[in-house]
Amino acid sequence: AQSVTQLDSHVSVSEGTPVLLRCNYSSSYSPSLFWYVQHPNKGLQLLLKYTSAATLVKGINGFEAEFKKSETSFHLTKPSAHMSDAAEYFCVVRPGAGSYQLTFGKGTKLSVIP
């Protein structure tokens, strides 16, 4: 079985400062990991994915995430927050071995203060 824990339900940063959204996972297999973003009243947009290649993954809009197997973590970072980054962020695990089911964390709401 797999699970995802997003360690913060709400993160608030000032515009122009770094963003860190934390995620820990558990999986019986070598997982694929994703970060999705959801703006109000919108569907989910893929930010980035890890699929057992490079451990540092670069995504859209300046976001990146590092896969650390020893820590079972996949934290999302961005060097400088922009007002448009304010949204809900979901860490997602998809176990390997042919599984198709995504398991979502409960989400982290990111607020950006001008």
- Check: CB of residue 110 under 8 Å from CB of residue 13: yes
- Check: CB of residue 20 under 8 Å from CB of residue 77: yes
- Check: CB of residue 15 under 8 Å from CB of residue 113: yes
Distance, in Å, from the CA atom of 100 to the CA atom of 61, rounded to the nearest integer, reads: 27
Report the nearest approach of other proteins to the CB of residue 86 (Å). 17
Report the nearest approach of other proteins to the CB of residue 31 (Å). 9
If the CB atoms of residues 7 and 15 are measured against other proteins, the closer one turns out to be: 7
Report the nearest approach of other proteins to the CB of residue 80 (Å). 26
Q: Can you read off the two tokens belonging to residue 83?
A: 């007002």
Query: Interface with other proteins by CB under 8 A: which residues?
Result: 4, 32, 34, 36, 41-46, 49, 51, 90, 94-107
If the CB atoms of residues 59 and 62 are measured against other proteins, the closer one turns out to be: 59
